[in-house]
Every structure is written in C-alpha cells, then in structure tokens.
Amino acid sequence: MPTVVFHHPDTPPDVVEADAGTSLMRAAVQRGVRGIVGECGGQAMCATCHVYVHPEYLESLEPIGEDEDEMLEDTAAPRLDNSRLGCQVPLDDALPEIHVDVPQTQV
Amino acid sequence: MEQVVIIGAGHAGVQCAASLREGGFSGAITMVAEEEHLPYQRPPLSKDHLGEAPTPLPLRGETFYGDNAVELLSGLTATRIDRDRHEVLLSDGRALPYSALVLATGAQARWLPGVDENHPGVHQIRTLGDAEKLRAALAAAGRAVVVGAGFLGLEFAAVARKKGLDVTVLEGGPRVLGRSVSPEMSAHLATAHEATGIRLRLGEGLASIEFRDHEVEAVVGASGAVYPADLVLLAVGANPRDDLAREAGLEVADGILVDAHLRTSDPAILAIGDCARLSSPAEGSPGRLESVQNATDQARHAAELILGGVEPFGAVPWFWSYQGALRLQIAGVRGPEDATVTIGDVDAGKFSVLSFREGRLTCVESLNRPADHLAARRLLAGDRLPTPGDVAAPDFQLKKFAAGLTPVSD
C-alpha cells in the first residue's frame, strides 16, 4: 500500500495510505486532504490537483504527458520544475512512498 | 446568527459550502442532500465509472464536513420553502430556519412519454445508482441502443463499443451534438464514432420500446425501423429541478430565474448551477448551463455575495467531454448562426474550430488541442480577441496570440 505524505504550507502533513492503482489526486480527495480539489474528477481538465513532488521521487514517476504539460501552464500557484497534476500520478506498489508539497492555492 | 441552508449536494452545493468557509463565514451551514452517499462527482459516471474505476469520487472527503462545521443532512428532501418564516421544511418534518437559502437542486434526466421508467432494461445516467445499474447491465448485454447523440449519449456509446457491444445511436436532429458544437466538429466526431463501429442514425426518433418476457427486445424508430437491443439508454437531455422554487412562488422559466448576482425573485434566496437561469444573459448565451465549471463558479459567486460581495456574476463558460479516445474541450458558447474558422490538423484529429459572431470570437472547440483550449479561456475572459483575419494567417497560433496579453515584467 503506497504511502503519500502531503506537506502543507502552515499545518502538519497529512499521511495517507493509498490503495494501489489509484491516483495521487483520488487518494487525497478520498481522505479529505486540504488543498487538493480535483474539480474535474481526474480528467486533467481543471488543474486543481497541482502538487510539487519532492525531487527525490520525480525520477520514479511516468513522464509528463502533453495534456498535463499544457494544463500545468495554467495552475493557480506557479509552475515549478517539480510540478505535477495529482490526477496524472498513478500510485502503485512499485513506489512505496512519495512526498509532495500542496500549493497555497488551486483556484 | 446567520444561517445558510443549501439544498442540493452536487458540485454547486458543496463548492458553495466550501467557499463560504474559505471566505471566513462564521454562521451555520446546513446542506440538504437527497442521496445517502457522501456527495460525489457526477461527470465520471458516464466515463470512468462504467469502465475501470468504479469507485465513486467524493466531492470532498468525509472529514471535510465535520472539519468545516457543515451539517450534512443525507437522505432527506426539501419539501417546501416557507418564505414568510424563512424556513425550509424537510421530508422528515423538520423545519430549518435560514437567513440565506441557496438552491442548488441540479437537473434531472428527461424521459420520453410512453416509456416505462422503471423497466430494468431502460436506463438513464444521473445518479450513482443509475450508473451502477447500467454497469451491471453492460456486462450482460450484447446490443445497446442509445437514444440521443448529446455528450452523455455519445460518451456512453463510446464506452459500450469499447466493451465490445453492438451500438446504435438514434438522434432526432440532423447531426450529433447539434445544440453544443459547430457543424464541422459534429461531422468530425460522427465520422470518428462510426469508424469504431458505432452506427449513427440521424433524423431518427424513438417510437417505442418492444419487450418480450420482461426483457428489452428492440427499439422501434420513428421511421418504423427496428433496432434489436438488450439495453436502452435514454440520453435526451435534462430538465432543471425548479419545482420547489415554483411552488414557493419564485419566478421560474425552464430554470429558476436569477438576476446578474444570482438572486432569485426573493433576495434572501439564491440559485446556482444546473437549476438556475440568468434572466438577462449576455448576448448569445442561453442563460442556463449544465457544466461543472458553471456550477462551481456560480457557487463561489454565491458565497461571495453572502459574504457581502457586490460584483455581478461573470465567468467564461467551459466544458469538456471524452468521446472515446478523443478529448473535446469547449470555451465560450456559440450561436447557431456563428461563422467558423478551423485551425490545426483536421486529418490528424488535432484541431480547433473558432466561432465568430459579427467578427467577434464567441467560442473555441478544441479536439486533442489542450493548448488552444487554455489560450481560448484566457482570451475570452479579456477584450483583446483575434479577428477572423488574424486567425486566417498561416502561422496563427492561439497560444501565441494569448501570450501577447501577458504583461511583460522587467
């Protein structure tokens, strides 16, 4: 069961035990992690599940797709080199743990 | 103490509660939710939910309601609004007092006269229960007939075809998505769906559904043609749920009428999302939209209004749909007579259709061109719009044009 640690700007992190096969966004929304909205339901349409992946985990992720790349141009918080959309980050047992920062704003 | 009551727990209702708290609202918030489930997202019901990801996606996690002091009353309906006493009466006999009431009642699937709504072989998609029933039926069916070639009907047709069913879509109008997209986009999508083996019958209505031994046997078209079927999906649009408002004496006309601030004819009552209709919409806009963006943007606006905001509601409408493998994104609303210009590579299935009314850009439909879509959303929110002349230039790109809007910092 992959563990996702969501780090917030001002409050203690949320540690979520996610089901393998789900996405980072779904894991967050199911557990009510603040700051992850997922307004479009995981279709890479709304850019409200933006996260900053801690650099040491970036290499383990699938590369950014074209749709995700375009949507990341339109996030509410600035896009950085480690920006991803949570809905496009699948979680599986190959990645037992991942840490991400939740941005200040999504809308 | 201020007390906000929100009727409906879809995208609009839940976003309104969230935005009230984010905006610092300290009064009581009560949401009345008809369904027992934790409020969930509806758009995946016709897409992922029928395929590999059947778990409902909640709009907010379970802890959201407690953490934000949002009282969620599930499995109850509002039966009456007592405007004189500022109270909502519930199906369990309770009366909820309000200082502001938000109607976010949504829309319900339209049925066709003469069709047995309770027949197990005849489906609609609106609720999680509908989608679960349909998913089970899909696993056992060989032939599906879809009535209506709108977004929902075509999304389902693509899913069913991918699962190997024999799929026929009947559409009463002359083209698919006739009320939603340009003739160019319609034609391209129709061809793409037919290429996967879906049969489209345009100009064909539903006459009746034939049953044998309580099983669906066939759909009979208005033309008299018979389409064998194990499963029928009715996807012929939705009606706003405005009965509660009408019975309370609020102004209603195919939706609850609201002013530019989203107030109904009673200033203590707002209406947002699928159920609301702007009484004076911008030129070319229908005034009532069924979309996630409209629901959430109106919800944010309603929250601001309750918190003392004075700006009228304004937001660029946008929509999306997965048509099988095709990703359709729409920004703005086109009129039926708008002129069109197509940019991009139509043969490769990556293009955008731009619509113009009297030379002014109204709408951009993008197929597998997310950059165009995002640029269009930014452009339509501003005043510097490309003209048909700009767009016709061989090297025109929406993204570059939109980037000209971005102030350059030094």
Q: Measure in Å the smallest separation between the Cα of B42 and chain A Cα atoms.
A: 9
* Contact criterion met (CB below 8 Å) for B58 and B40: yes
- Asked if B57 lies within 8 A of A38 by C-beta distance, the reply is yes
Q: What is the DSSP letter of A86?
A: G
Q: Measure in Å the smallest separation between the Cα of A54 and chain B Cα atoms.
A: 24
Touching check for A64 and chain B: CB below 8 Å? no
What ipTM was estimated for this complex? 0.82
pLDDT tens-digit map of B228-251: 999 999 999 999 999 999 999 999
Give the closest of A41, A67, A73 to B41, CB-based: A41
Q: Which helix (H) or strand (E) holds B205?
A: none
Mean pLDDT of chain A: 91
pLDDT tens-digit map of A58-73: 999 999 998 899 889 8
Q: Low-confidence residues of chain B, pLDDT below 50?
A: 406-410
Touching check for B64 and chain A: CB below 8 Å? yes
The HSE-up count of residue B154 (CA atoms within 13 Å, CB side) is 29
Touching check for A24 and chain B: CB below 8 Å? no
Touching check for B48 and chain A: CB below 8 Å? yes
Which class for B342: exposed (0-12), middle (13-18), buried (19 or more C-beta within 10 A)?
middle
Q: What is the DSSP letter of B247?
A: H
Name the nearest CA neighbour of B171 among B130, B222, B239, B231: B222
pLDDT tens-digit map of A32-51: 888 898 888 888 888 899 99
Portion 113-152 of B in contact with A at CB < 8 A: none
B268 SS3 class: coil
First to last CA, chain A: 30
Burial B90-129 (b: 16+ CB within 10 A, else e): beeeeebebebbbbbbbbbbeeeeeeeeeeebbbbbbbbe
Ramachandran region, residue B287 (left: φ > 0; alpha: ψ -120 to 50; beta: rest) = left
Average pLDDT on A1-19 reads: 93
* Contact criterion met (CB below 8 Å) for A100 and A54: yes
Q: Tell me which chain B residue has its CA closest to the CA of residue A45.
A: B320
Name the nearest CA neighbour of B352 among B384, B379, B330, B326: B330
List CB contacts (< 8 A) between B320 and chain A: 40, 43, 45
Tokens of B203: 């100009």
Q: Which helix (H) or strand (E) holds B24?
A: none
Helices (H), B250-313: 292-306
Q: What does each C-alpha distance from A99 to A18, B70, B125 come to in angstroms?
A: 13, 30, 37
The HSE-up count of residue B54 (CA atoms within 13 Å, CB side) is 10
Cβ atoms within 10 Å of B86's Cβ, excluding its own: 18
Residue B249 has a pLDDT of 98
Interface test with B, best of A33, A66, A68, A70 (most B CBs within 10 A): A70
Residue B54 has a pLDDT of 67
- Model pTM? 0.92
> Quick one: angle between helices B151-162 and B128-140, nearest 10?
40
pLDDT tens-digit map of B88-109: 999 999 999 999 999 999 999 9
Cβ atoms within 10 Å of B157's Cβ, excluding its own: 29
List CB contacts (< 8 A) between A40 and chain B: 43, 292, 320
Residue B410 has a pLDDT of 36
Cβ atoms within 10 Å of B81's Cβ, excluding its own: 24
Residue A39 has a pLDDT of 84
Q: Tell me which chain A residue has its CA closest to the CA of residue B52.
A: A21
